[in-house]
Amino acid sequence: MSKLLDIKTLGQLKKSAYKSRSVKDELRANLIEQLKKREGGFEGIIGFEDTVIPDLQTAILSRHNILLLGLRGQAKTRIARLLINLLDEYVPYIEGSDLFDDPYHPISWYGHSTITEKGDDTPIGWIHRSERYTEKLATPDVTVADLIGDVDPIKAATLKLTYSDERVIHFGLIPRAHRGIFVINELPDLQARIQVSLFNILQERDIQIRGFKLRLPLDIQFVFTANPEDYTNRGSIVTPLKDRIESQILTHYPRTVEISRKITQQEASLTPEQLSTVEADSLVKNLIEQIAFEARSSEYIDKKSGVSARLTISAYENLISNAERRMIMNHESNTFVRITDFLGVIPAITGKIELVYEGELEGPGKVANILIGKAIKTTLLEFFPDPEKAKKAKGVNPYASIINWFGEGNNLALVDDMSLIDYKKELNEVAGLKDLVKKLHPRITENQQLLLMEFVLHGLSEFSQLNKGFLDNGFAFSDMFNSLFNLQPDEDDLDLDDDRYN
């Protein structure tokens, strides 16, 4: 490659081993090399190895334009951006050309005239693959001039050209993406008349600008992304355009908590200080992912809108930061994530869910709390016996001592800025709680033990074995039976119905 970059004229290029090929042939050839070596080619894309990626590779081998169709937060744009890795590292072009003309196959007036005038002395430049990627977000205000081009009267006046001269045209984004990858994100947001302007480019590869019938055999790999057409009333992809996009590939959300967790851990942006001082157990990492799974099946959330993977990423970042905040306030050198820290993830949830009517009645904060509760209820069964079955079983109920302690009139408040010493003291006061955790999980650290002790209390409340009240900055646990009759909190004056998000 270094020898090729030394080539500065068309004559030198002709004497070299370089062979020109279309961008789709380029993508295809480089993909074939990757497949032979069994290389991934789509680093950072997790969970699509057996579904989306094979379909994408098939489309590239077929030299198709591609539509990635799926709900928000399904890595559609990221996949499109990774396609540049399949381009050659450098390709030559006629220096000075706005359209990066191929020296062997020029398409613009400048390219043709330069070669006619200078022949083998035509100056050659080299363009890196990172410069051959163009991305445009489709918005209702996008015009044909933006995408295709328009007549430039200032250019005509400056160069003293008539409007019939091809040189007065100012080319739009698509012609300037010649010999590269052009991506239009959120295609349904593009007005129908603008979508129509893409017909000829996709099928006949020519463009028409204000009466100019300009035959420009553009060499472009098109990639479009879109949400499903029935998502709200934003618009749709016009049928003739959809017909011209040869491969439509359906994306999806992670199928398992494990895959979702890998994505979150890969994408979460944490500081070195947070990584070294805040311990996040596997339990809390799984709980974060379970929240998203609960949201995607919730009757309060619009399934057509979807629940982005960005929810879990933002939620995990907030979870770590909430624990860090407590550590700083208590002048501690390190800490670990507690269940009370999940109060801090609610702002990351409320902005990323689209509620249906029933959800609007509850309110976004309440819905977020419901989702966290359901995640706790689902995850509890992976670590402890089912409280409902344990209650009905003939044998000894492993939770009996804990429930009886609260039944004797005791209650417990856990706030999110509580020091480790106070946190530990409060949990150890609950009869039978530590013994239950030690019996079922004997080989864990003290931090993990405390986390599971709190987790049991939250789990029992989700199974209606204990009452959990929401404080401004934490939770209060009390007996389920007594709470039905005592409208006022106990002597601790706990406001059990009012939290910071309701």
pLDDT at position 494, please? 42
Residue 304 tokens read as 């057509």
pLDDT at position 487, please? 42
Residues 6 or more apart in contact with residue 304 via CB below 8 angstroms:
71, 228, 230, 231, 232
User: Per residue in 158-206, pLDDT tens?
Assistant: 777 766 667 778 888 998 999 999 999 999 888 888 888 888 778 766 6
Sign of the alpha-carbon torsion through 29, 34, 35, 41: negative
Question: Is 471 strand, coil or helix?
Answer: coil
CB atoms within 10 A of CB 394: 4
- Which residues does the chain have with pLDDT short of 50? 231-233, 485, 487-498
User: Which residue type occupies 56?
Assistant: L
- 362 phi/psi in degrees, rounded to 5: -75, -35
How distant, in Å, are the alpha carbons of 68, 169, 226, 280 from that of 250?
Answer: 6, 38, 10, 34
Q: What is the largest CA-CA distance in the chain?
A: 98
d(CA 302, CA 449): 38
Q: Residue 147 is inside which H or E element, if any?
A: helix 144-147
d(CA 142, CA 138): 7
CA-based nearest residue to 219, from 367, 497, 62, 26: 26
pLDDT at position 43, please? 86
Asked if 66 contacts 83 with a C-beta cutoff of 8 angstroms, the reply is no
pLDDT at position 231, please? 44
CA R_g for the chain: 31
Exposed/middle/buried for 321, CB within 10 Å: 0-12, 13-18, 19+?
A: middle
Buried b (16+ CB within 10 A) or exposed e, 332-361: eeebbbbbbbbbbbbbbbbebbbbeeebee
Q: What is the 3-state secondary structure (H, E, C) of 292-335?
A: HHHHHCCCCECCCCCCCHHHHHHHHHHHHHHHHHHHHHCCCCCE
Instruction: Please count the residues of the chain.
Output: 502
pLDDT at position 472, please? 84
CA-based nearest residue to 378, from 480, 286, 306, 457: 286
Q: Residue 475 is inside which H or E element, if any?
A: strand 474-479
CB atoms within 10 A of CB 84: 16
Q: Nearest 5°: CA angle at 446, between 443 and 450?
A: 110
pLDDT at position 489, please? 43
Establish how many alpha carbons lie within 13 A of residue 232's alpha carbon, considering only the half-sphere containing its beta carbon: 13
pLDDT at position 233, please? 47
Q: Nearest 5°: CA angle at 158, between 154 and 164?
A: 70
Q: Which residue has the tokens 């080299």?
A: 126
